[in-house]
Amino acid sequence: MLSPMWNILIVFVTISVAYGKNDHVDLTQDWWETAVFYRIYVRSFMDSDGDGVGDINGITSRLEYLKEIGAEAAWLSPIFKSPMNDFGYDISDFYTIQPEYGSNDDFEQLLKKANELNIKIVLDFVPNHTSNESEWFIKSSSREEYYSDWYIWENGHIGHAGERQPPNNWVSSFGKSAWSYSPARDQYYLHQFGVAQPDLNYRNPVVVDEIKNIIKFWLEKGIAGLIMNSVNHVFEVDKDNYGGHYPDEPITGKPGLSPDDYGYLEHVYTKDQEETYELVSQLREVFDAISIRDNMTRIMMTNAYTNIKNAVKYYGDGILYGSHVPLNFVLIEDLDKYSDARDIKYAVDRWITYKPLRKQANWLTGDHDRSRVASRFRPELVDAFNMLVLLLPGIAITYMGEEIGMLDGFVPWSETKDPLACNTDDPVNFIEVSRDPVRTPFPWSNGKNSGFSMADRTWLPVGEGSEHLNVAHQRSAVRSHYQVYRALTNLRVRAAFKYGRLESLALNNDVFAFKRWHNDDTYVIVMNFGRTYQVVNLTSFDLVFGQLEVEVSSVLSSRTYNDNIPAGSVDLAANEALVLRMQA
Ligand code: NOJ
């Protein structure tokens, strides 16, 4: 069965053209299918009112920047009302904008300007939990009839010494027990994240209906989509199948972990439950109904840190409708600073292999939870990773700052804000889990607070080195990551990148290359992930020969636009990355 969304695609004319060896390519594409999404961590992007915290008017004032770098959609971290225990991933009112970020009117203005610039706005949404300051939770805690069953409530145990104990061994992904006691209700509530983030009960149909209403509400306002964050956590096992009590999770046996560590347990009862896919399918119908009515596709994206088989199941299976964009984390999770060309090829192939054939791929190298490319790998590889994200087939997602090669900032314990880091109570080792370093203010210039804010103090310190590593500096430089990024997004309009096929090779342990082509227009993107000079033969690719012309070269490359290189012998400096076009 096809999603109703397909019905509106009838308005598109399906043109299939033959090319290559009996290959067919479908030239119909909806707005999102090869779009560049620019992911904004709202608190840190641009502060318009001088309080040291980024806001909606700040984003509106910088929308032209997105246009300039070739982004087609802005993806905002949660902007809903929140006590900010987890900086917006703890929502207390899903229908209102967080006052410190602006008003509903400010948001309307953002939408208006985005519309004028033809930039789509998509919003991060958090279905798994609310804030403990949500009216729903307060009413549920006091057992108010309608809300009583909106969260996961469970009785605890009494220990030998008469002390209170949680219902079972479940651990929060922020560490320590996933259960907290509510004196008001004299029961424990489940929170798979922070103590202030109680999990909603998706086995209650009223909760599902309310979430659908919220989705409708924001889509009706004119946004182009929502991202269902941590979606794989929404269901826990059905306790009715376990005698009415949630069972303990099995112990992983991983060395060096304490029962307070998330990795101590295998999360077989709290993550990736089958019912999640049924829920996603139901929610997708809400998106599709509005898309059909307005003849404009509203997309559902899903964010699940899980294994690849579970991840690609979010595409749907022909019976259940899926998500338009199940996020692909292979370039983060399958790679580290020791990865070489073979690992890159393996990671790229893995997603392409597991993904259903006709669905769009998507690529990203970072988000507000993970270390940045320049820090996770090395600054010299920033352009190579941007080439992967922007020139592999499908959707490209850039976390703000990756286009200029931002580094992780340094945030000392005394200024640490991330609840995950604070929860360690460890002023030394908190740094291993802290997400603050990837959330430091965006460097616009070498002005006060790197142009992010006029405040005397910003919510997180500005990253060191931003007097050089900033947009203004890279904009005026002849060669910079910013210039490379722009050149890459410009290339994406060409058919070879929009519709073209993919072939990839690890030419040796250090050099990874991929070919994109459409009809006679052929490109080879070649990147040296090693630290030594290499010479490779690109005629190893089928139908690549003759002279290749440089379209884009990484910042430290000695090559410039239009340089010619023979396909049979391409010499590459350490870290050099090139986009080459075959001469007709
Ligand atoms: C996933 C988000 O990416 C992360 O930042 C947040 O802490 C958790 N969900 C909990 O909402």
pLDDT band at residue 2 under the 50/70/90 scheme: very low
pLDDT tens digits, one per residue of 344-375:
999 999 999 999 999 999 999 999 999 999 99
**Is any ligand 1 atom within 6 A of the Cβ of residue 297?**
no
- Whether 89 lines ligand 1, by a CB cut-off of 6 Å, is yes
Q: Is 87 in the pocket of ligand 1 (CB under 6 A)?
A: no
**pLDDT, tens digit, for every residue of 457-468?**
999 999 989 988
| pLDDT tens, residue by residue, 138-177 | 999 999 999 999 999 999 999 999 999 999 999 999 999 9
Look at ligand 1, atom 1, and give the residue with the nearest C-alpha: 230
- Do residues 199 and 152 lie in contact, with contact meaning Cβ atoms separated by under 8 Å? yes
122 Cα to the center of ligand 1, angstroms: 17
Evaluate: CB of 86 within 6 angstroms of ligand 1.
yes
Is there an atom of ligand 1 within 6 Å of 418 CB?
no
89 CA to centre of ligand 1 in angstroms: 6
Q: Please indicate whether residue 230, judged by its CB atom, sits closer than 6 Å to ligand 1.
A: yes
State the angle between helix axes of 205-220 and 275-294 in degrees (0 to 180), rounded to the nearest 10. 30
What value does the mean pLDDT take over residues 469-483? Answer: 97
Give the residue whose CA is nearest to atom 9 of ligand 1.
230
Nearest residue (CA) to ligand 1, atom 5? 369
Q: Give the tens place of pLDDT for each residue, 24-42.
A: 455 689 999 999 999 999 9
Q: What is the pLDDT of residue 26?
A: 57
C-beta of 440 in contact with ligand 1 (< 6 A): no
The residues, any chain, with a CB within 8 Å of residue 187's CB and separated by 6 or more, are: 153, 154, 155, 156, 181
CA–centroid distance, 230 to ligand 1, in Å, is 7
**Tens-place pLDDT, residues 553-564:** 999 999 999 999
Q: How far is CA 214 from CA 103, 154, 219, 230, in A?
A: 18, 27, 9, 17
Give CA–CA dist 326/300, Å, rounded: 9
114, pLDDT greater than 70: yes
Ligand 1 and 399: CB distance under 6 A: no
User: Is the pLDDT assigned to residue 17 strictly greater than 60?
Assistant: no
Mean pLDDT of 411-424: 96
What percent of the chain has a predicted confidence (pLDDT) above 90? 94
Q: List, in order of start, the domains of the chain with CATH numbers.
A: 4-129+205-234+271-412+466-483 (3.20.20.80), 500-582 (2.60.40.1180)
What is the atom index within ligand 1 of the atom nearest the CA of 128?
11
Mean pLDDT of the chain: 95
Ligand 1 atom nearest the C-alpha of 194 is 10
> Distance from CA of residue 171 to its chain's centroid?
24
Give pLDDT, residue 9.
Answer: 42
Strands (E) across 20-72 are located at: 23-26, 36-40
What is the arithmetic mean of pLDDT over 482-487?
98
Instruction: Give pLDDT tens digits for 485-530.
Output: 999 999 999 999 999 999 999 999 999 999 999 999 999 999 999 9
Q: Which amino acid is at 501?
A: R
Q: Is the CB of 327 under 6 A from ligand 1?
A: no
Ligand 1 atom nearest residue 305's Cα: 1
**126 Cβ closer than 6 Å to some ligand 1 atom:** yes
Reference 422, options 98, 176, 128, 257; nearest CA is 176
Give the residue, out of 42, 43, 86, with the most ligand 1 atoms within 8 A of its beta carbon, to mutate for a pocket test: 86
- The string of pLDDT tens digits covering residues 278-330 is 999 999 999 999 999 999 999 999 999 999 999 999 999 989 999 999 999 99
Does residue 383 register a pLDDT over 60? yes
Q: Whose CA is nearest to atom 11 of ligand 1?
A: 89
Residue 61 sits at φ, ψ, to 5 deg, of: -70, -15
- What's the pLDDT at 221? 96
C-alpha to C-alpha distance for 410 and 465, rounded to whole angstroms: 11
Q: Is 37 touching ligand 1 by the criterion CB < 6 Å? A: no
User: What is the C-alpha to C-alpha distance for residues 333 and 472, in angstroms, rounded to an integer?
Assistant: 32
**In ligand 1, which atom is closest to the CA atom of 420?**
7
The partner residues of 17 in beta bridges, in order of sequence, read: 25
Q: Which residues contact 457 (CB under 8 A, 6 or more apart)?
A: 52
Sheet holding 179-182, edge to edge: 153-154, 187-190, 179-182
Q: CA 492 from chain center: how many Å?
A: 20
Give the model's pLDDT for residue 27: 67
Q: 379 CA to middle of ligand 1, Å?
A: 26
